[in-house]
Homo-oligomer: A and B are copies of this chain.
Amino acid sequence: MITTLSGAEVWNLSTLSAACVGIIINTFHDDGEPLIASMAFSGIAFALTFSLIRWLGDVFMKANLKGRDMSKPKKIEIPETMGAVCAVVYLLTIIIFIPFPFYKDIVAATSGGGNEESVIGPQFVQTGRSLHRFPHNKLASYLSAILSLQSVVLLGIGDDLFDIRWRHKLFIPAFASIPMLVVYFVDYGVTNVVVPVQLEQYLGKMVNLGWLYYAYMAAIAIFCPNSINILAGINGIEVSQSLVIGGLLLANDALSLYVAPSTPFPHPATDPHLFSIYLLLPFMGVSMALWWHNWYPAKVFVGDTYCYFAGMVFAIVGILGHFSKTLLLLFIPQIINFIYSAPQLFRLIPCPRHRLPRFNARSGLLEPSVIQWQQPPPKPVALLMDMLANLPLPLLKVEKNSTGEVVKSTNLTILNLWLVWFGPKREDRLATELILMQALCGVLGLFVRHQLALWVFRQDNRE
């Protein structure tokens, strides 16, 4: 692996960084321009991550953070856990970025100008909004987001170091979501949700979910990182799917912001969508730098750290931005993969340590990987498997011996299923097709969300 930057790369990255620094300096006027600054910070984060991934390759190999690429003719070792580099650069970026969204407020506070005399009625107390002209609550929620992300990175690195057992892994994002939930509880505490029109006659317009709302938030935070972590195993797939989801979330934010300013007052959804953009732009920056090195043929692996980190960014943006339902629409392939994997995850069917497709050294293509059944499966499982294998669109490929007992069956991931359906493929081809599918599902999801939302809810955010 190359551990230095080429002359052209040095030149390009330096130019990019210098331009970004220039842009940031130019945002210090009037009310500041946090959105522009955020883009520039993301550029710098890209350049920094790109360089660090190169420079740290050897260091990672020496520290035993390395893995063997199983889907290549030569199974060479390459650095593993490079997602940690991404994540640390990302954290540094959003920490340094903290003052920018508050530039206006800081200037107002320092100059002593502004709306000192305005008195705010008690009706705003519970909503946690507009309490004082300095948006302390926005700051607190921003900080809680960073805390949760930092927690998931810390625990993710632990996972990559110690190879934590699967059933323990599941709870890493749960622990990491604690800071966010606690701050939500302390500082905001709104647990009301809008009721779909069809149910209004039974439940009223709003229903207070109480602690169930916290359970829901925790469930989102557990699902997103883990679902990315199980749709993994071929070069570039983890980062690519994250880039697609991140890109679509940004599109959704842009759409929401584009139509928001037409309302006379700042729309209540403006702030959460800005917040979402500030968290997502640098994420895209660091992820692209990682993608560059992780796409087929991979020069580095991302590690579980990256999957947790990426999933947590999405979970936080969705939860604190109050668009978790929209978020889930972008996770359709992950949801399908999770449901499809469930028989293995819950050990109805044996689950090997890795379920990635099998590399056929002769053809150079990936084929569905299989479970070898030492003993024939129990009756109900065998029945289920037969049923799945004999559907018009088979969801499983099984191999039986002469007595009709299952001896082999494919692993239950959509990567394998794709290969069952469309035959053996080269690794990058498989990744590309799956990512296109992800993008298509996501675009459809957003379309549904914006076109059909009015059918179930009285008003869209956009109104």
Q: Which residues of A contact B (CB under 8 A)?
A: 59, 62-65, 88, 91-92, 95-96, 98-99, 102, 106, 109-110, 112, 116-117, 119, 122, 125-126, 131-132, 134, 136-137, 139-140, 143-144, 146-147, 150-151, 153-155, 157-158, 161-162, 175, 178-179, 182-183, 185-187, 189
Known contacts A64-B64, A88-B154; decide if A122 and B116 are in contact (CB<8 Å).
Answer: yes
CB closest chain-B residue, reference A187: B139
Which residues of the other chain, B, contact A143 by a CB distance below 8 angstroms?
140, 143-144, 147, 179, 183
Contacts of A144 in B (CB 8 A): 143
Distance in angstroms from A88 CB to nearest chain B CB is 7
Task: Select A134's contact among B106, B117, B131, beta carbons within 8 Å.
Answer: B131
A182 in complex: contacting residue of B96, B134, B155, CB < 8 Å: B96
Q: Tell me the complex Cα distance, A109–B137, Å.
A: 14
Bound form: Cα–Cα A98–B63 in Å: 36
Interface majority SS on A: helix, strand, loop or mixed? helix
CA distance A99 to B116 in the complex (A): 29
A119–B132 Cα distance when bound, in Å, is 11
CB distance from A137 to the nearest CB of B (A): 6
Please, which residues of chain B bring their CB within 8 A of the CB of A91?
A: 151, 154
Copies of this chain: 2
Q: Which residues of B contact A106 (CB under 8 A)?
A: 185-186, 189
- Hey, which chain B residues are within 8 Å of A59, CB to CB? 162
Residue of B nearest to A116 (CB): B122
Q: Which B residue's beta carbon lies closest to that of A131? A: B132
Contact, CB under 8 Å: B95 / A136: no
A95 touches B182 (CB 8 A): yes
Q: Chain B residues near A63 (CB, 8 Å)?
A: 161-162
Of A99, A117, A143, chain B has the most CB atoms within 10 Å of the CB of A143
A60 CA to B117 CA, complexed, in Å: 59
- Collect the chain B residues with CB atoms within 8 Å of residue A65's CB: 161
6 contacts between A and B (CB under 8 A): A64-B64, A109-B189, A112-B125, A134-B187, A147-B150, A150-B154
A34 CA / B189 CA spacing, docked (Å): 20
Q: Across the interface, which residues of B come within 8 angstroms of A88, CB to CB? A: 154-155, 158
The 10 closest A-B CB pairs, nearest first, are A136-B136, A116-B122, A143-B143, A150-B150, A98-B182, A95-B179, A63-B161, A99-B186, A59-B162, A131-B132
For A119, what are the chain B residues with a Cβ–Cβ distance below 8 Å?
Answer: 119
In the complex, residue of chain B having the shortest beta-carbon distance to the beta carbon of A81: B161
Select the residue from A65, A91, A98 with max chain B CB neighbours within 10 A.
A98
Q: B187, A136: Cβ atoms under 8 Å?
A: yes
What is the CB-to-nearest-CB distance from A165 to chain B, in angstroms, rounded to a whole number?
11
Instruction: Tell which of A59, A116, A122, A154 has the most Cβ of chain B within 10 Å.
Output: A154
Are A179 and B140 interface neighbours, CB within 8 A? no
CA distance A407 to B351 in the complex (A): 64
A139 near B186 with CB under 8 A, answer: yes
Q: In the complex, A186→B32 CA distance in Å? A: 14
The answer to whether A98 and B186 have CB atoms under 8 Å apart is yes
How near does chain B come to A15, taking the closest CB pair, in angstroms?
25
Please give, as numbers and ranges, the residues of chain B lying within 8 Å of A102 by CB-CB distance: 186
Residues of B within 8 A of A158 (CB): 88
A189 to chain B: which residues have CB within 8 Å? 106, 109-110
| Least Cβ–Cβ distance between A397 and chain B, in angstroms | 37
Minimal Cβ-Cβ distance residue in B for A106: B186
A155: chain B residues at CB < 8 Å are 88
In the complex, what's the smallest C-beta–C-beta distance from A313 to chain B, in angstroms? 16
In the complex the two chains form, what is the Cα distance from A131 to B136 in whole Å?
10
Contact B99 A178 (CB under 8 A): no
- Decide: A139 and B183 in contact? CB cutoff 8 A: yes
In the complex, which residue of chain B has the Cβ closest to the Cβ of A110? B189
Asked if residues A179 and B146 are in contact (CB atoms below 8 Å), the reply is yes
CA distance A150 to B143 in the complex (A): 12
Residue of B nearest to A60 (CB): B162
Q: Is the CB of B136 within 8 A of A92?
A: no
> Given A109-B126, A140-B143, A189-B110, does the pair A98, B64 have CB atoms closer than 8 Å?
no
Could you tell me the distance between the alpha carbons of A147 and B150 in the complex, rounded to whole angstroms? 8
Q: CA separation between A88 and B172, bound complex, in Å?
A: 13
Residues of B within 8 A of A178 (CB): 92, 95-96
